[in-house]
Structure 1
Amino acid sequence: MNQRIKPASRLSNSPAVERPRTTGAVTARTSGGDRLRSWLGHHREMWRECWVRFFASPMSSGMTALVIAIALALPAALQLGLTNFQRAVAGWDGQPQISVFLQKRAKEAVVADWAEDLRADPLVAAVTYISPEQALAEFQQASGLGDALAGMENNPLPAVLLVRSAGSDNSDLEALAERLRASALTDSVVLDMAWVQRLAQLTALGRRMSLGLAFLLALGVLLVVVNSIRLHIENRREEILVVKLVGGTDAFVRRPFLYTGLCYGLVGGLIAWLLVSVGVWLLAGPVSGLANLYGSGFRLDGPGVTYLFGLAGGAALLGLTGAWLAVARHISAIQPR
């Protein structure tokens, strides 16, 4: 036999021999960067979609945003009004002052010596003496009864010492007032700071009431958003079932509804700021005219950029919170069978 057998090593290198191929499913791993880009892309898509859905039904979306705006505009307007009121009274003389009405028989020289002693007191900042004649002239000018008082034979008004305190501590003021009452020259003592303290207490009461009203209306905003998002979930129930059947997670499903609540709150906050601005613009003219009648240059301050960001940000946060509450309750109940 002339045929030769080829070596095994040559057979293994022959192109006629094919290697076995692997068959079946192949597992591919996605990198962290791909997952992050996918996550951010889905967020951008949901942000655009929430605005598309908002303007697709402008009547229902606008009514929801308007309800949120009115609920937020009420406490915001009250808070702005209190701020303007405090600014208006800040220009008034709020320094503690004690009016000391002197005895009618007190001699002016003795009163002058007593005033000098009071000026040396460390608790006293200044002492002003008003004679009976000066007091009568001021009363005639302020009351407009100059002709009626001109025919009086005797001046019924006593001399007055206006004592301005160096501090504003209540205990020091009361101690100084008691010392002034103890003098034989004193007829009566009036602490003129009492109305300022009452005004401060009323302002604090108004501020707390505005905070309470804001809390109650914020709860109302949450209920409005929760109800609106619940209706959105029910309208898209079949879509949610399909997404969960193909493996969509709860986080994936809840994301568009969270952005919808955020959109409602943001638009409501912007409308609330606009409502407060229009209200200030309508009241600015009458308030300026009233201030001019009293010789004041007071002008209303409108809601600036701080109020804009505060209302928009707070409303957006309330909308997001309400949407989260609605989604956490209803999404988990929708499960494919």
Structure 2
Amino acid sequence: MSGNKGGASPKPRRLSKLQSPGKPPRREVVGAKKHRTGFRDRLDSYRSHHRQVAGESLRRLLKRPLATLMTTLVIAIAMVLPAGLYIALNNVDELSQGWDGAARVSMFLKFSVDDSAAESLRSELLKREDIAVAEYISPSAALAEFRERSGFGEVLDQLNSNPLPGLIILTPHAEHSGTKQLDALRGELAAMPQADIVKLDMEWLQRLNTITEISRRLTLALAVMLAAGVLLIVGNTIKLAIENRRAEILVVKLVGGTNAFVRRPFLYMGFWYGLMGGVLAWLLLQACLLWLRGPVSELSGLYHSDFLLIGLGLGESLLLWLAAAGLGLLGAVLVVGRELRAIEPR
């Protein structure tokens, strides 16, 4: 006989809809949701604390406007010097950009070479593969042009003869405009019996490009040294701020504050110092450019040029601000960790 009363068979146990075979229990799903919610809460708390610390650090700096302005001004001057040299070099490049590729060779002829012989020589030179354009300027045409541009017409009228020689201006092809090729061409032209003096018009531009390259390297070296100076300035300022708040730091550590918690306000302080220094440096650069723009425009007008000073673009301005803020933050990082490890409650 069966042990069940009345002989009735046991009823099968019903499975919950949320606990059907192959599905995880409900409590695991709820636990996952709680885990995601907890992570989101911690992230929101982390962001909120960073905003609070950043704002509090900025307010502390603004409460001491004179001291903050002095430190910021030193950082700005350190940033202005390399940035100003960078702008100057950019303007030199912009000014000389239209001269690139305008390599010409001026071949001054001997006084014994008449116009017909000069024209014959010009035709021969045009047959060379490396010469694109050959222009002959006769002595009379050169004298007339000089008379028109110099304003010394009365003086020139008193001369017994024309002191200017004939001139052939040669423009080589672009593929033959290299430095070595131009030097070789000048040597060949100077060896001709009709030539008196052969001048390469690109010599001065090559010297300018060499000087510009040297200036760029000097600017980079100066920027590195001044960046190190900014690190020292910010680091020393943060060190003094830590010493002034030493008692507050001890209290925070006594109640369980970690070094990371204590370090955060000083890191933001270094960031604000750097950012304000970068913005002030940008304002100083803009003021200098505005002050110089008028005289430079007047000077370029005297040379019949429409050249205008160019400053920092949007990307370059943002890079200046970020570089300054990064240097301020790095200066704080290098100092804060070491100083806080030395402050421990006993």
Query: TM-score w.r.t. structure 1 length?
Result: 0.86
Q: 1:323 aligns with which of 293, 308, 332?
A: 332
Question: Shift of residue 86 of structure 1?
Answer: 2.1
Query: What amino acid does structure 1 have at the position aligned with 2:126?
Result: R
In the alignment, which residue of structure 1 is the partner of 2:94? 87
Q: Aligned partners of 1:34 and 1:288: how far apart in 2?
A: 59
In the TM superposition, residue 127 of structure 1 has moved relative to its aligned partner by 0.8
Residue 93 of structure 1: CA displacement? 6.9
Say yes or no: does 1:153 pair with 2:160: yes
- Which position in structure 1 is the counterpart of 2:209? 200
Q: Is the 8 A contact 1:288 1:298 kept in 2?
A: yes
User: Of 289, 302, 306, which residue of structure 2 is paired with 1:293?
Assistant: 302
Mapped to 1, the partners of 2:179 and 2:267 lie a distance apart of 53
Structure with the largest fraction of helix: 2
Match of 2:117 in 1: 110
Alpha-carbon distance between aligned partners in 1 of 2:328 and 2:99, rounded to the nearest angstrom:
42
For the 8 Å contact 1:104–1:159, the answer to whether it is kept is yes
Aligned residue identity for 1:307 = E
Contact 1:95 1:165 in 2 (8 A): no
SS in 1 for 2:341: coil
> How far did residue 304 of structure 1 move?
3.3
Q: Secondary structure at the match of 1:122?
A: coil
Q: Which residue of 1 aligns with 2:15?
A: none
Amino acid at match of 1:235: N
Map of 2:273 onto structure 1: 264
* 1:99 paired to 2:106: yes
Which residue of structure 2 aligns with residue 59 of structure 1? Answer: 66
What is the aligned partner in structure 2 of residue 20 from structure 1? Answer: none
Map 1:35-184 onto structure 2 (within 5 A): 35-92=42-99, 95-167=102-174, 168-184=177-193
What residue is the counterpart of 1:187 in the other structure?
196
Query: Per the alignment, in what secondary structure is the counterpart of residue 247 of structure 1?
Result: coil
Contact 1:73 1:276 in 2 (8 A): yes
1:248 and 1:33 map into 2 onto residues whose CA distance is: 23
Q: Which one is further off, 146-155 or 258-267?
A: 146-155
Q: For 1:315 and 1:202, locate their aligned partners in 2 and report how far apart those are by CA, in whole Å.
A: 28
Specify the alignment match of 2:227 in structure 1.
218
Q: Does 1:250 align with 2:259?
A: yes
Q: Tell me which moved more, 97-106 or 203-212.
A: 203-212
Task: Tell me if 1:274 matches 2:268.
Answer: no
Percent identity of equivalent pairs: 47
Q: Classify the secondary structure of the residue corresponding to 2:305.
A: coil
**Number of matched pairs:** 309
Post-superposition offset of 1:67 = 1.2
Alignment-mate amino acid for residue 225 of structure 2: L
CA shift at 1:94, angstroms? 5.5
